[in-house]
Structure 1
Amino acid sequence: MECQRTDEQIAYPVFYDVDPSEVRNLHGEVGKGLSIHNNEKTEKWKEALKEAANLSGWDLRKTADGHEAKVIKLIVECVSLELRFISLNIYESLIGMEQRVQDLESFLDMSSNDVRMIGIKGMGGAGKTTLARAIVDKLSANFEAKSFIENVREVSKASLTGLLSLQRQVISDLLKDQCKTINSVHDGRNMMKRMMCTTKVLVVLDDVDHKDQLEALVGEPAWFKIGSRIIITTRDEQVLIGHRVKLIRDEK
């Protein structure tokens, strides 16, 4: 509660098998629990509980028929939406960013029940990465998992295992796999082919400069579950064309 007052953070109470009125009035089990404490902190606890009970939140027993998983989903959606607004306020301060995000959304077409690979091409400093981040912040709540891989060009060429390390990161982000059994890019591709089709994902590959990187990290649309979206930023349009990416947005 102090964080909400002093740092402008947002608190959402979740009443887990307790009536909000008991928390607000310090009755029932809440009152009994507090009664056994008698120290300087007790009064602060009481005030904090009263204050929290007056905030908008969720009563597990009365929300979604008490189905815990459904309540969790509602909480995640609410928080994601709040974070989306915060992120958009940041990006809207950049000239033309709001319109660019809207234009990219039309390429993504979230209502379309397919797998889409979208390329964003443009010279260095054109804002490709910022645009990709803005769209992820806005739409990530629509996916079951996401992965944002930065500096693909730089990392993949930094060492002999650079591309493998990026592949492990993608698999870890999307499949929650520790990747201990992946010893080669070939092994990683095979794992993604087998397992990626079960999860609706959002993937961003930032600053790609070679077709091999795309083949290792996102392969074919058939690898992914319907509804998935893959965004690729690059300075070289031929990399996108070579990987048969048909939807390409030019960021000048």
Structure 2
Amino acid sequence: MTLRPSSSSCSWRFHLFPSFHGPDVRVSFLSHLRKQFERNGIIMFNDQEIQRSQIIKPELTRAIQESRILIVVLSQSYASSSWCLNELVEILKCEETAGRIVMTIFYKVDPSDVRKQIGEFGEAFKKTCEGRTQTEIQRWTRALTHVANIEGEHSLNWVNEADMIEKIAKDVSDKLNATPSNDFDSMVGLEAHLEKLKSSLHLEKDGAMIVGISGPAGIGKTTIARALYNQLSSNFPLRYFMENVRGIYRRIDCDQHGLKLHLQEQLLSKILNHDGMKIFHSDVVYERLQNQKVLIILDDVDHLEQLDALARDVSWFGHGSRIIVTTEDQELLKQHGIKNTYHVNLPSNEEALGIFSSG
């Protein structure tokens, strides 16, 4: 598979920009939301080093413009801050002019109070409006009315806040994954490979499954696996793309048992978000993941010992899990007992012509 030159590249510095009233949510709800985003690999802008004032500083405006998703956490005192209101105006401007995705969270506040500026929320808003020009007040009123009409999560509808946070993180991840990416725009034949692979994964079935992707060096196995991972990862609570297993294996200087433990330590450290994990026996993967739904890509495997260490048996993983192995050696997959395999063939004449034309 060959890449065509990309005409543009993604300009996002952050996956997500949050707008919120600090005293209401910073050390409670927002800190837990931030931690969940970190677990899900979502990069959220951190405003801790920016001193807040009456106007939005240029670095904040840039952060809004360079974030793919803008999430507004509306709380009882949100409208007590002219900073928050000006930030909201800028966010909605980016939604209108630059196509940014805006999401809402109503945290202990009724959306209708925000929409109509009534109740405690309305009282806070009125105080902020004192001494302001009619132009400012109208701009803020329009922004609050608009954002309140964006469907979002309401904390008052949730019994368990942790469950709500998980749902929000999944929704954000889904939106990021659905966003067109330039990374794969120019890969000839990619969509056809992905459709065939997703069919062979039987995602509708609950059982765990190990699938192999084989093909000669340079044919695009890693590219296909990466694109597949990007499309599917939001459906799995735990996921990890383990790159260059062959290279990791060759760099380890220890005996066979030590090699396997090292590979397992890397896998578990990443998938469980536990840096520097140390394990002392080879059943730990089974013990930690047997009841978990995971998506794991083992990329560029070239020894049976690697598969034995990382995916010895499908029973190691919980219901719905999918383990995808890429390798140049189709025989290795057979030896490990992986029957469900996908072989990446050389491009068809039509695809080859497309590759040639793009050169």
Q: TM-score range by the shorter chain?
A: 0.7 to 0.9
CA distance in 2 between counterparts of 1:142 and 1:170 reads 19
Contact 1:117/1:229, CA 8 A, preserved across alignment: yes
* 1:133 corresponds to: 226
Q: Which amino acid aligns with 2:266?
A: Q
> What corresponds to 1:55 in structure 2?
150
Higher helix fraction (1 or 2) = 1
Confirm or deny: 8 A CA contact 2:260 2:282 kept in the other structure.
Answer: no
Aligned identity (percent) is 36
CA contact (8 A) 2:114 2:145 kept: yes
Q: SS at 1:198's partner residue?
A: coil
**TM-score scaled by structure 1?**
0.82
Q: Which residue of 1 aligns with 2:274?
A: 177
Structure 2 CA distance for partners of 1:220 and 1:30, relative to 1, 3 Å: same
Q: Which moved more, 1:105-114 or 1:119-128?
A: 105-114
Partner of 1:104: 197
1:228 positional shift:
1.0
Partner deviation per Cα, 1:51-91 (whole Å, 9 max, x = no partner) = 42232323333x5x655455445434433332332257864
Task: After superposing the two structures, state which structure 1 stretch, 192-201 or 46-55, moved more.
Answer: 46-55
State whether residues 189 and 219 of structure 1, in contact with CA within 8 Å, keep that contact through their aligned partners in structure 2.
no
TM-score by length of 2: 0.60
Tell me the CA shift for residue 46 of structure 1: 5.7
Corresponding residue for 1:27? 118
- CA distance in structure 2 between the partners assigned to 1:12 and 1:226 by the alignment: 31
Structure 2: distance between partners of 1:95 and 1:56:
38
Bigger Rg, structure 1 or 2: 2
Paired AA for residue 114 in structure 1: G
> How far 1:142 sits from its partner (Å)?
2.5
User: Shift of residue 210 of structure 1?
Assistant: 0.9
Residue 300 of structure 2 aligns to a residue whose secondary structure is strand
Flag the 1:8–1:168 CA change in 2: closer, same or farther, 3 A.
Answer: farther
Partner of 2:233, secondary structure, is helix
Deviation at 1:136, TM superposition (A): 1.6
Give the gaps of 5 or more residues in structure 1.
Answer: none
Aligned partners of 1:131 and 1:218: how far apart in 2?
20
For residues 230-251 of structure 1, what are the alpha-carbon distances to aligned partners after superposition, in whole Å with 9 as ceiling and x for unaligned? 0000111222122221111111
Amino acid at match of 1:147: Y
Give the C-alpha shift of residue 152 in structure 1.
1.1
Cα offset, 1:125, TM superposition: 1.7
The aligned amino acid for 2:224 is: L
SS at match of 2:290: helix
User: Residue in 1 aligned with 2:40?
Assistant: none
Q: Structure 2 CA distance, aligned partners of 1:113 and 1:24?
A: 43
Q: Does 1:235 align with 2:334?
A: no
Q: Distance in 1 between matches of 2:278 and 2:183?
A: 40
Task: Give yes or no for the alignment of 1:18 onto 2:109.
Answer: yes
